[in-house]
Chains A and B, each alone.
Chain A
Amino acid sequence: MPPVAETYSLGVPVEVSKIDEELKKLWQESESAATRASLVNLAVYSEDAGSLSKNTQLMANITENHACRAIVIEADCDAKENHVEAWISAHCHVSGVGSKQVCSEQISFLLKGGCTDLLPSIVFSHLDSDLPFYLWWQREFREPMDPQLWAWVDRVIYDSQGWEDFRAQMSLLESAEQEANQRIVLCDLNWTRLDSFRFALAQFFDHPASHHNFAKINKLRIDFAPGFRSTAVLFAGWLAAQLSWQSDKTNVPNKFSFASSSGGKIEVELRERLGQPIGEVAMQTSDIEFLVTHAECGDLLEVSRGKPGGKRTPQLMPAEKNDPVSLMSEELMRGGPHHVYLHAVERVRDLL
């Protein structure tokens, strides 16, 4: 590849009408043996100034494990004149097998003015054919949601952690999905953030002999970091959906309860603590506590069960990392719909 393509720069500036042509040249002029690889079209959309270079760096890291056609878009919707600038580049990594260079193409766009009108045409013209289209939307959704764009999207990726109004945002997404008449998979990075804690808690109940504890659960405590209350609520929603708990009315934001299918009450307490997005989860019956907490070294979880306050031997498990590259990598490893997420959201929509 030309040296310019191997850095975090936006690459070669190109005319929008000549992107395909210039991409072809990029490969023809390659000096070293490299393989172009792509499993998915991954477009990232942001309206933050300077996001092009920040997202280029993210893509450079994401493509290390997920070969894709990256389309990075920064939009300045308030600009007075309509104007589009484009760049092409490639992210090349040495693959696990030998010393082969595997490269993902990136097309970057800076859109000025008329964002909503320009976006579908920009995206559609530059999709790698026959590959699924994932759209990573880095801001809050807003009206109007262009049905033409959403009809093409296979998976929309967002992070509900920063949403001010969860219900309004979900409602926009759901109506866009309906209008586009397309089954879009909703991928919430705030949900992905919970993977390792869900995995760790689930382990306690792999043996059928432990299933009787489900009916005895009476307390759930979740510690969350400032700004991550919605993450903790989603976790509670997941347990409620999977264990058929029904929500009780509540007036205290961080203390609420569920009713189990057998009529038992499950008291939930959310505690704000400095640290990881989810710092600790403790689920209790009258005589046993299931505890998942961050180990001192940070990227491991300690899982243990035993009498509350009693001595235990914790086991270590991998913990989720909270940076965008790790969350995206985890999300891109998945396929299929996120039914469990949707069920969890349903249970706690009013609490979010």
Chain B
Amino acid sequence: MNRAADQPEPNPLREGLSARAVPQPCTIVIFGATGDLTHRKLVPALYNLAADGELPLAVEIVGFARRPKTDDEFRSDLEEATRKFSRQSVRDEIWKNFAQSIFYHQSEFEDESGYKALAKRLDEIDKSHGTRGNRLFYFAASPDQFEPILKNLKNAGLNQTCKGSWARVIIEKPFGSDLASARELNSVVRNSFTEEQTYRIDHFLGKETAQNILVLRFANAIFAPLWNTHYIDHVQITAAETLGVEGRAGYYETAGALRDMVQNHLLQLLCLTAMEPPTDLSADSIRDEKVKVVRSLRRWSHNAIATEVVRGQYAKGAINGEPVVGYRQEKNVNPDSQTETFVALRLYIDTWRWAEVPIYMRVGKRLPKSATDISIHFKKAPAVLFNKDSHDLNVLVIRIQPDEGISLRIHAKVPGTSFRIEPVKMDFHYGTSFGKASPEAYERLLLDAMSGDATLFARRDEVEEAWSFIDPIEEAWHAKKNAPELFFYPAGSWGPEAADDLLARDGRSWRRL
């Protein structure tokens, strides 16, 4: 969003051509280069940026992984993956040119000599390709490898930069599995890289509609006066997916929906929805306001967690008419697993703006449809003239995925001689209004990291505050005595009944998706 403070003098020939910060030449080193993320997301995103002319002239990619491979074999693997997963079709001539900038570096993550060789290779690339000593290290490896990678990068001097160049590190979630491990991870990162050099990626923040929340709130005068406890009845945030664990059982069994989705994605969306206006659009101003939201979340006692948080696990059922097995029957899942695949919460933000406005969140797997959205339910108009028998509220819906857009439900008179009032929906679809396809979240985020713009990345204190909110819930769930119940729901339903009860006792219900 904003040019970082250390950004260079503007290029006069750029005026009027591009509104965004222009990245500098650099080498991107991907740790875990043979993994899924690299093949499905990172390299296709970089290819799309290259095809759209968004990359600077010199951007080199070095894949770092254990398996022996030549540069050409690595390029060939990536070409196959990019042809499969790229947003736009791959053009041979562009790929050929792009592939020349891809290299493979084979080493064990723990092998110090591998990093020394990497340093030498990066210096050579700087000289031959003009990447000017700028390095972006992307951690696409499993989190247990972060520590040796960081330590070895430091030992090889790769966290240091010459004057005028930079080194940055992008870390994929999970950023720890609780507050203690997050702090430990942050401390390990800090031993090698400063906070300013660290970019914690949450791909939800790279989505167009997530970014549009700030625009909607702070570029439209009509919403600002209504965005508070006086006019908002409650807020709902839903992240539903039809998929089950899909081969991620190993990770999911140790994480669960609360850690996998709520701690990061959903709290980030909540922050954008609830934050105060920042003083400017710089990364830190925005993140200062976001962290205040998490800090202001009301904490619960052990007993309150049982009433404010519902956890569930899908049992066998059907999705789109196709029978599916229950979570405990999934491959590599413990048949007695207590892992939650669904969470619903009632939150409160104890600030002047949000006093006593309930925020209902739900996230789940094997729900009837895949959709992520935020809905703002406004208070009912006085039932003096109309609305005497109606309980419908004005609802503003921000759809994050799929079909990104915004809709507003208002009341209108049904044509006829009587005053019959029905809700109608005003709808804005990104896909309908703007023909241009939104870039993939990773494209935007990679470009931001190269440009030194950390606005859409999570800061250390945001992550730690989020864990400090999540930890008591996990502790209560795993307590030996009086642990809140794990409810089961049939796959293809909207979660356990207890989730409906969470709202029903307030006289509300989940929005129909």
Contacts and interface: CB of A to CB of B under 8 A. Distances in A.
B12 A295 contact: no
Interface stretch (B118-126, B362-370, B430-438): B430-438
Do most interface residues of chain A lie in helix, strand or loop, or is the interface mixed? mixed
A242 B12 contact: yes
Contacts of A102: 431-432
Interface in B1-44: 8-9, 11-18, 22, 24-25
B432 A37 contact: yes
B460 interface: no
B212 to A, nearest CB: 15
A97 B22 contact: no
Interface stretch (A145-153, A194-202, A247-255, A268-276): A194-202
B57 interface: yes
B432 A242 contact: no
Given A198-B13, A316-B93, A209 B164 contact: yes
Interface in A172-222: 195-196, 198-209, 211, 214
A316 B47 CA distance: 12
Contacts of A98: 403
Do most interface residues of chain B lie in helix, strand or loop, or is the interface mixed? loop
Contacts of B14: 202, 206
Interface in B417-447: 429-437
A66 B25 CA distance: 34
Nearest to B437: A96
Nearest to A200: B53
Contact-size category for B: 35 or more
A66 B432 CA distance: 9
Contacts of A64: 435
Given A202-B14, A303-B57, A316-B97, A209 B432 contact: no
Contacts of A242: 12-13, 15
Interface stretch (A51-59, A81-89, A118-126, A333-341): A333-341
A211 B433 contact: no
A339 B164 CA distance: 32
A97 B13 contact: no
Contacts of A195: 17
Nearest to B427: A35
Given A35-B429, A95-B432, A201-B13, 15 more contacts: A65-B435, A67-B432, A95-B429, A95-B431, A96-B435, A96-B437, A97-B430, A100-B431, A198-B17, A206-B11, A243-B12, A300-B94, A303-B57, A315-B97, A338-B16
Interface of A: 35, 37, 39, 64-67, 95-98, 100, 102, 195-196, 198-209, 211, 214, 239, 242-243, 295, 297, 300, 303, 313, 315-318, 329, 333, 338-341
Interface of B: 8-9, 11-18, 22, 24-25, 51-53, 56-57, 93-94, 97, 100, 132, 164, 402-403, 429-437
12 contacts: A39-B433, A97-B403, A97-B430, A100-B432, A203-B57, A204-B57, A206-B24, A206-B25, A208-B8, A243-B12, A295-B93, A318-B52
